[in-house]
């Protein structure tokens, strides 16, 4: 089936540093998402993105977070500066359409550890 690739699978950084998480979405998909998961628990919605713009974001999407997808390249989540509470697994997803009835295709996640 369609695959979403996330790079890297693990990232360890010091608190206060910047980190960029990369996502290669399904090739013909137009909508992109980031979710945060702590300790295998609830998948927390962060943001969705379409046509170069943030469509919706949650309270977890702090000012230190930003997303972009320059010219069809990776869809990225940047955190600057990082905080200890940012440690989690971040999942990228993509979908063809933007309604809630669309299937989200998820990557395998990037485990971020902030020391």
Partner 1 sequence: SQWGEENLQALSIQEGEDVTMNCSYKTYTTVVQWYRQKSGKGPAQLILIRSNEREKRSGRLRATLDTSSQSSSLSITGTLATDTAVYFCATDRQGGRALIFGTGTTVSVSP
**Binding site residues, partner 1, CB under 8 A:** 4, 31, 33, 35, 40-45, 48, 55-56, 58, 91, 93, 98-101, 103-104, 106-109
Return the number of the residue (107 or 114) whose C-beta is nearest partner 1.
107
Structure tokens at 76: 């990225």
- Beta strands 19-24 and 53-57, pairing class: unpaired
Residue 46 C-beta: closest distance to partner 1, Å? 9
Return the number of the residue (48 or 82) whose C-beta is nearest partner 1.
48
Residue 56 C-beta: closest distance to partner 1, Å? 5
> Distance (Å, rounded) from C-alpha 57 to C-alpha 78?
14
The neighbour count for residue 17, using CB atoms within 10 Å, is 12
């Amino acid at each position: 089936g369609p695959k979403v690739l996330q790079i890297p699978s693990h990232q360890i950084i010091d608190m206060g540093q910047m980190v960029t998480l990369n996502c290669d979405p399904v090739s013909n998909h137009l909508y992109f998402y980031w979710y945060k998961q702590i300790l295998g628990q609830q998948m927390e919605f962060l943001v969705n993105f379409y046509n170069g713009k943030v469509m919706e974001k949650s309270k977890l999407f702090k000012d230190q977070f930003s997303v972009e997808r320059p010219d069809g390249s990776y869809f990225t989540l940047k955190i600057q500066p990082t905080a200890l509470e940012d440690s989690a697994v971040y999942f990228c997803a993509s979908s063809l359409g933007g309604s809630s009835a669309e299937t989200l295709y998820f990557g395998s996640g990037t485990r971020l550890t902030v020391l």
